[in-house]
Amino acid sequence: MSSHSHVEGQLPHEPERATLEGRNKITGFWLFLGGETVLFGTLFAAYLTLRGQVMDGPTPNELFDFALVALATALLLTSSLTSVFALQAMHKHNVKGLMGWLIVTLLLGAAFLGLEIYEFNHYVHLGHTFAASAFSTSFYTLVGFHGAHVAFGLLWVILILLQLKKRGLNTTTAPKVYVFGMYWHFIDVVWVFIFTVVYLMGKVG
Amino acid sequence: MAHAHAHAVKRRTGIMDWLTTVDHKKIGIMYLLAGGFFFLIGGLEAILIRLQLMFPQSEVVSAQFYNELITMHGTTMIFLAAMPILFGFMNAIIPLQIGARDVAYPFVNALGFWTFFFGGVLLNISFIAGSVPDAGWTMYAPLSGTTYTEHFGTDYYVIGLQISGIGTLIGGINFLVTIINMRAPGMTFMRMPMFTWATFITSALILFAFPALTVGLAALMFDRLFSGNFFDPSAGGNVVLWEHIFWIFGHPEVYILILPAFGIISEVVSTFSRKRLFGYSSMVFATILIGFLGFMVWAHHMFTTGLGPIANALFSVATMLIAVPTGIKIFNWLFTMWGGSIKFTVANLFAVGFIPTFVMGGVTGVMLSVAPADYQYHDTYFVVAHFHYVIVGGLVLGIFAGLHYWWPKMFGRVLSEKLGYWTFWTFYIGFHLTFFVQHFLGLLGMPRRIWQYLDGMGFNTLNFISTIGALLMGVGTILFIINILITMRKPKTAENDPWKDGRTLEWTISSPAPEYNFAQTPLVRGYDAWWLEKMEGNSKMTPVEPIGPIHMPSPSILPFFMGLGLFIAGFGFMYAREFGVVSLVIGIAGLVITFGCMGLRSWIDDHGFHIEEEEILKDQGVKA
């Protein structure tokens, strides 16, 4: 079987696991996400330690706007769902559906990122700059690390879309799609924690 | 999985071969060379430190340079010498021990090497640039912040380690996946050699410890480059936060260093006692337990920080617990030797020398774990003596054992045993001379990290002895280098199993191993797979496949450029506060190189090439 093959009938149901390379990629990516968990865990710990230190700047309660954050959350959570639809399309060897859902995921992610940039810009005008206080530094670092992950994911999915367009679905491209899906869900889970720890606790705590 | 369309065999020669290689054996050699080079730099720094302390109130080096020396000695030895040398062994040996043809990600493997290398070079360029890290290898805040360290020293530390840390992290993931997915048929987890087990657990520790360092370094970098406030108390920052983050990484790091040494010692002691490793399953269990407990004890580095009696008590007890699995290991090694027909080769001398030395380091570790007593020991030479007993007396002796043991497998030549004995005795005596007396210097009250001490404090004689010992260790190291140079001039005549007593799969193939490792994947029928076959009178392993074309990954220059890109980016961002936009543009250009190469790697559809049957048969013919 050539790995360039994209004749639908020849691909197995789970093309991402058809080769050892593909399986290695998936195992390794699970482990990588374990490391990422520690990374974000440390960022959360730093934020929780420092979030009370607002100095002369605005407090979390004054700063955060629920409507905006709720919209961003909805966008990102939905993009996780659409990435699952993409994967389901892949398992049916439906390249068109796969690419379509990946594009929807891309657009939702881009919208989320746009909102985050708007939000940061808004905060800076309120005096909540990176260097304002320990709270602001740890806030921007935590949320910014997440934002950077989203941005990286967007570039990644564009690259995957280009490869799918050029080479179709095969045992080389399938693991890439699958691993991207894992990454995207992970980013989503991190956001759920950011929503809770940063925004909800900022409003209530 | 064979690819129908044939690719031309891609092979490069000379320097391009080394720059583009994705072969784990060559990458192992590069790790060994680069790690060895940094080991010499770190060793030279140590000698200068000892020369300064040889006599009271001497001025061999200036106070500022002394601070730079202690900082760079610790940083270099741990991150740029010890870990890379261990990675060298893992690369060279792990795929062979599990019967695999390569690691899971050959490309990532090369990338890991080049990021480590460029990170290390960046860190050491600080000496040429004239602003060297000088806040101690632990870089405690606020000393490492811009208030107290205005020059670029800390930036070199932060960015250099960040870059080389990427290499370590992806290396760790690579070995985890290799060991999980690439074992030969029959090589179950409980049949894996101890060095493979140690590498497995070490890689897991790397995976869960290094991201904490990544965050700590990033936070310190943000504080310094972008006026962040993580560790600046005047803006609400918290200096103890740095200590926590650093040691949450830093303590597992200690076990990242020592567990592979435990693995090497297990292999060597078992081979040269010509006995099965005593208590294999308890060894595995102890390794896992040490790895787990390693994450529970970081605050024992912070007993005097003032965390309170409850925290101190908990971390104290947790620390003492580690003595239990470590003790299990010590007794297992002793019982392996018990009743064995022991051959004292140089490798085994280092291994046997390791055991009592490491016990001494362990005992002082238990002493230090008693929090009230630690208030007395803290920041004295007692601590210096303790951690050098575990790191030099543990890890470095383990590395020397491994070097003598696996040298024939890596280079096809057996090191001179005669010179090796000289290396062992000079290094071993030198080591104890250097560090044994430091226990007493510490108990007498000599603080660590001091540039000078006064005459008449009772420190003179012991410091003098210590320096003589350090020089003797230097002699041992030079003898080892001479041994390498002499051996390299000899022909490659090492047999497959040069010790005759090899127990594991790496000794079933030629020395050095062919590019594809195993012409036919072997069938593993039990623990100590090769020994088992030998005892049943077989001269080779049972293959699980006929001889056929072997798929190989293509070499690539991209990992080199990805490392180089990060190197350029590091410089650009570091000097942005002096040179402004130009520097920033260079920094961004560096990132573009790295991420551009990453994109290229994804885009280029390279399925590698095949080594054809004829070539493999030809190799076999020469050896048979």
Kindly report the average pLDDT of chain B as a whole number: 95
Q: Which of A47, A44, A43 is nearest to A134 (CA)?
A: A47
- Inter-chain residue contact A55 with B1, CB threshold 8 Å: no
Q: What is the structure's pLDDT at A131?
A: 95
Q: How far apart are CA B191 and CA B199, in angstroms?
A: 14
Chain B positions touching A45 (Cβ under 8 A) are 244-245
pLDDT 10s digits, B340-369:
999 999 999 999 999 999 999 999 999 999
Q: What is the structure's pLDDT at B597?
A: 96
- Inter-chain residue contact A53 with B235, CB threshold 8 Å: yes
Query: Taking the CB of residue B418, how many other CB atoms lie within 10 A of it?
Result: 10
- Closest chain A residue by Cα to residue B181: A24
In chain B, what are the helix, strand and coil shares in percent, each to the nearest 5?
70, 0, 30
Residues B158, B220 contacting (CB under 8 angstroms): yes
Query: Taking the CB of residue B177, how many other CB atoms lie within 10 A of it?
Result: 25
Q: Which long-range contacts (CB under 8 A, 24 or more apart) does B221-224 make?
A: B221/B155, B221/B158, B221/B159, B221/B162, B222/A130, B222/A137, B222/A141, B223/A137, B223/B141, B223/B145, B223/B146, B224/B145, B224/B146, B224/B154, B224/B155, B224/B158
DSSP code at position B513:
P
Tell me the mean pLDDT in the region B402-412.
Answer: 97
pLDDT for residue B4 is more than 70? no
Task: Give me the amino acid identity at B607.
Answer: H
* Angle, CA of B460, B462 and B463, to the nearest 5°: 65
Strand partners of residue B543: B522
pLDDT grade for B6, boundaries at 50, 70 and 90: very low
Q: Which of A101, A24, A161, A17 is nearest to B602 (CA)?
A: A161
pLDDT for residue B59 is more than 90? yes
Tell me the mean pLDDT in the region B32-59.
Answer: 97
Q: How far apart are CA A99 and CA A89, in angstroms?
A: 9
pLDDT for residue B266 is more than 80? yes
pLDDT grade for B3, boundaries at 50, 70 and 90: very low
- For A58, counting Cβ atoms within 10 Å of its Cβ (0-12 exposed, 13-18 middle, 19+ buried), the class is middle
- B130: domain range? 14-556+606-623
pLDDT 10s digits, A110-156:
999 999 999 999 999 999 999 999 999 999 999 999 999 999 999 99
Interfacial residues of A (vs B; Cβ cutoff 8 Å): 1-4, 19-20, 23-24, 27-28, 31-32, 34-36, 38-39, 42-43, 45-46, 49-50, 52-55, 130-138, 141, 155, 159, 162-163, 167, 172, 176
- Between B529 and A66, the more confident residue is B529
Calculate what percentage of chain B has a pLDDT beyond 70: 98
Residues B413, B487 contacting (CB under 8 angstroms): yes
> Looking at the partner chain, which of B227, B235, B595 has a beta carbon nearest the beta carbon of A55?
B235
Q: What is the structure's pLDDT at A4?
A: 45
Would the CA dihedral through B581, B582, B587, B592 be positive or negative? positive
Residue with tokens 């000899």: B490
- For B343, counting Cβ atoms within 10 Å of its Cβ (0-12 exposed, 13-18 middle, 19+ buried), the class is middle
Q: What is the structure's pLDDT at A8?
A: 47
pLDDT 10s digits, B166-211:
999 999 999 999 999 999 999 999 999 999 999 999 999 999 999 9
Strand partners of residue B610: B551
Calculate what percentage of chain B has a pLDDT beyond 90: 94
Buried b (16+ CB within 10 A) or exposed e, B590-604: bbebbeebbeebeee
Q: To probe the interface with A, which of B111, B226, B229 has the most A CB atoms within 10 Å? A: B229
Buried b (16+ CB within 10 A) or exposed e, A155-190: ebbebbbebbeeebbbbbbbbbbbbbbbbbebbbeb
- Between B117 and A13, the more confident residue is B117
> Looking at the partner chain, which of B176, B209, B228 has a beta carbon nearest the beta carbon of A137?
B228
- Inter-chain residue contact A53 with B237, CB threshold 8 Å: yes
Query: Where do the domains of chain A lie?
Result: 23-42+60-204
CATH number, position B126: 1.20.210.10
Residues B301, B247 contacting (CB under 8 angstroms): yes
pLDDT grade for B8, boundaries at 50, 70 and 90: low
Q: What is the structure's pLDDT at A107?
A: 98
A53 to chain B, minimum CA–CA distance in Å?
A: 5
Residues B151, B131 contacting (CB under 8 angstroms): yes
H or E segment to which residue B286 belongs: helix B280-293
Q: A23-42+60-204, what's its fold?
A: Four Helix Bundle (Hemerythrin (Met), subunit A) (1.20.120)
Up-side HSE of residue B156: CA atoms within 13 Å toward CB?
Answer: 27
Q: What is the structure's pLDDT at B484?
A: 97
Query: Taking the CB of residue A44, how many other CB atoms lie within 10 A of it?
Result: 18
pLDDT grade for A70, boundaries at 50, 70 and 90: very high
Q: Where are the alpha helices (DSSP H) in B182-279?
A: 194-225, 239-273
- Closest chain B residue by Cα to residue A135: B236
- Closest chain B residue by Cα to residue A171: B1
Q: Where are the alpha helices (DSSP H) in B153-193?
A: 153-181
Chain A positions touching B211 (Cβ under 8 A) are 35-36, 38-39, 42
Query: Taking the CB of residue A34, how many other CB atoms lie within 10 A of it?
Result: 16
pLDDT for residue B555 is more than 50? yes
> Looking at the partner chain, which of A31, A130, A163 has a beta carbon nearest the beta carbon of B207?
A31
Number of independent structural domains in chain B: 1
Query: Taking the CB of residue A97, how many other CB atoms lie within 10 A of it?
Result: 15
> Looking at the partner chain, which of B181, B230, B237 has a beta carbon nearest the beta carbon of A27?
B181
pLDDT grade for B305, boundaries at 50, 70 and 90: very high
pLDDT for residue B624 is more than 50? no
Torsional class of B139: left (φ above 0), alpha (ψ -120 to 50), beta (otherwise): left
Tokens encoding A64: 């955060």
Tell me the mean pLDDT in the region A192-205.
Answer: 92
pLDDT grade for B620, boundaries at 50, 70 and 90: confident
Residues B588, B569 contacting (CB under 8 angstroms): yes
A120 to chain B, minimum CA–CA distance in Å?
A: 16
Residues B223, B229 contacting (CB under 8 angstroms): yes
Q: Cα dist. B386→A192, B165, B320, B544 in Å?
A: 45, 26, 15, 49
Domain presence at residue B475: yes
pLDDT 10s digits, A12-69:
989 999 999 999 999 999 999 999 999 999 999 999 999 999 999 899 999 998 899 9
Q: What is the structure's pLDDT at A3?
A: 44
* Interchain CB contacts (distance < 8 Å): A and B: 131
pLDDT 10s digits, B221-247:
999 999 999 999 999 999 999 999 999
Domain presence at residue B7: no
Residues B242, B297 contacting (CB under 8 angstroms): no
Chain A positions touching B177 (Cβ under 8 A) are 24, 27-28, 31
Chain A positions touching B214 (Cβ under 8 A) are 39
* Phi, psi of B40, rounded to the nearest 5 degrees: -65, -40
A163 to chain B, minimum CA–CA distance in Å?
A: 7
pLDDT grade for B10, boundaries at 50, 70 and 90: low
pLDDT for residue B144 is more than 50? yes
